[in-house]
Chain A
């Protein structure tokens, strides 16, 4: 049996695959979020030095991870789109940008809320914070550049170049707490060492991170479905979609 590896690189077939996957990811996100929030609020112990205010890590850390991870994913889809001239990869990059920007915003905002009781300041011009702010501007720049260009294919490619240039910022964010002597604490969780935090705290944080992943998948896939519909509206398969015809025909 030969497997057609490129079957789902066509927007038409991916549209249906995404439609089947969205409910799965959405349910997984809801369940993981409920479990994660329960652990973070009721099971995880109070921190010895920071009291209850530390509990914001359960959203702050997953959001910060997602903001960096989604940028790398966005840049790789954009790079694939630029290299192989595939339409779907560029649509994926476009669909990822708003979710990534949202997580960056959440990471910055929860960081400010956490910084006030622990450091006594909403904001400091620290290496980690500044580079994360730059990441937010990169996301906004990517979205506004694509919005400013009328031709979608040109918008895809121009955005891809920008995304690839901006990817230099991600390692800077990740290693900023090592390279500079910052107010932001170093990494508490790492693959190579045992974590420097209580096991229940770690479990809660990882479950919240998984919930954020599932949420991102669901939202990005539904956004990419909308982008596919918008760009392929002149094609025959979109015209024959039952969900569009039920409502009394397609506008085009």
Chain B
């Protein structure tokens, strides 16, 4: 029972950790005017957004990746499943931060932005959650986690290329 629940519980924790802190990704900079300076700066805005998403991931994703083996032990996961859980989180949590950057940029400065950002990013988070938790289950069932992890890696690459760009466009719209 504990073993079956473990990947889902840890992944939901990752999702909540990422989603609940999205509101703060840009709001501090927005309120004190730093964001306007960033928009005016000669560096490409996509690169700056990528930096913001990286910072968000370092705060919300990396601790969970580091803790995952310990959490998995508490759920009595076998050693190879622990490895798969950690790798799936390592590949998946950056995707959450990158997708979240789009939602955070779109809802910047809106009333009720906190609820809205959850509504916007949750549907896009679900596939990552499914494949992340699915990787551990597949490896526990003896099917091998390769396919799930490859898909997570593909999500990461696509979102790494497209998400900063979309979030930068959304920030420009929000700051007009």
Known A130-B126, A148-B111; judge A161-B119 contact (CB<8 A): no
Tell me whether B122 and A137 are in contact (CB under 8 A).
Answer: yes
B12 in contact (CB, < 8 A): no
A149 in contact (CB, < 8 A): yes
Minimum C-beta distance from B102 to chain A (A): 6
A165 in complex: contacting residue of B119, B124, B174, CB < 8 Å: B124
B116 in contact (CB, < 8 A): yes
B166 in complex: contacting residue of A134, A140, A148, A165, CB < 8 Å: A165
Tell me whether B116 and A145 are in contact (CB under 8 A).
Answer: yes
Residues of A in contact with B, size category: 20 to 34
Query: Residue on B with the closest CB to A127?
Result: B130
Tell me whether A144 and B116 are in contact (CB under 8 A).
Answer: yes
Q: How many residues of chain B are within 8 Å of chain A by beta carbon?
A: 23
B119 in complex: contacting residue of A144, A149, A158, A169, CB < 8 Å: A144
A184 in contact (CB, < 8 A): no
Interface of B is mostly: helix
B107 in complex: contacting residue of A137, A145, A172, CB < 8 Å: A145
A55 in contact (CB, < 8 A): no
Interface of A is mostly: helix
B112 in contact (CB, < 8 A): yes
CA distance A148 to B114 in the complex (A): 12
Minimum C-beta distance from B7 to chain A (A): 15
B142 in contact (CB, < 8 A): no
Taking CB atoms and an 8 Å cut-off, the chain B residues in 89-136 that contact chain A are 102, 106-107, 110-113, 116, 119-120, 122-124, 126-127, 130
B170 in complex: contacting residue of A140, A158, A166, CB < 8 Å: A158
CA distance A59 to B135 in the complex (A): 36
Query: Residue on A with the closest CB to B110?
Result: A148
A154 in contact (CB, < 8 A): yes
Tell me whether B106 and A166 are in contact (CB under 8 A).
Answer: no
A161 in complex: contacting residue of B116, B123, B126, B169, CB < 8 Å: B169
Query: Residue on A with the closest CB to B172?
Result: A157
Tell me whether A137 and B123 are in contact (CB under 8 A).
Answer: yes
Tell me whether A161 and B111 are in contact (CB under 8 A).
Answer: no
CA distance A106 to B104 in the complex (A): 31
Chain A residues whose C-beta falls within 8 Å of the C-beta of B113 in the assembled complex: 148
A88 in contact (CB, < 8 A): no
Chain A residues whose C-beta falls within 8 Å of the C-beta of B120 in the assembled complex: 141, 145, 162
Known A137-B119, A154-B174, A165-B166; judge A148-B102 contact (CB<8 A): no
Given contacts A158-B174, A161-B173, 12 further A-B contacts (CB under 8 A): A130-B126, A134-B124, A137-B122, A145-B116, A145-B120, A148-B113, A154-B174, A158-B173, A162-B106, A164-B166, A165-B102, A169-B123
- 9 residue pairs of the A-B complex, CB under 8 angstroms, read A134-B123, A134-B124, A141-B120, A145-B120, A158-B106, A158-B173, A161-B170, A162-B120, A165-B162
| Chain A residues within 8 Å of B, Cβ to Cβ | 82, 130, 134, 137-138, 140-141, 144-145, 148-149, 154, 157-158, 161-162, 164-166, 169, 172
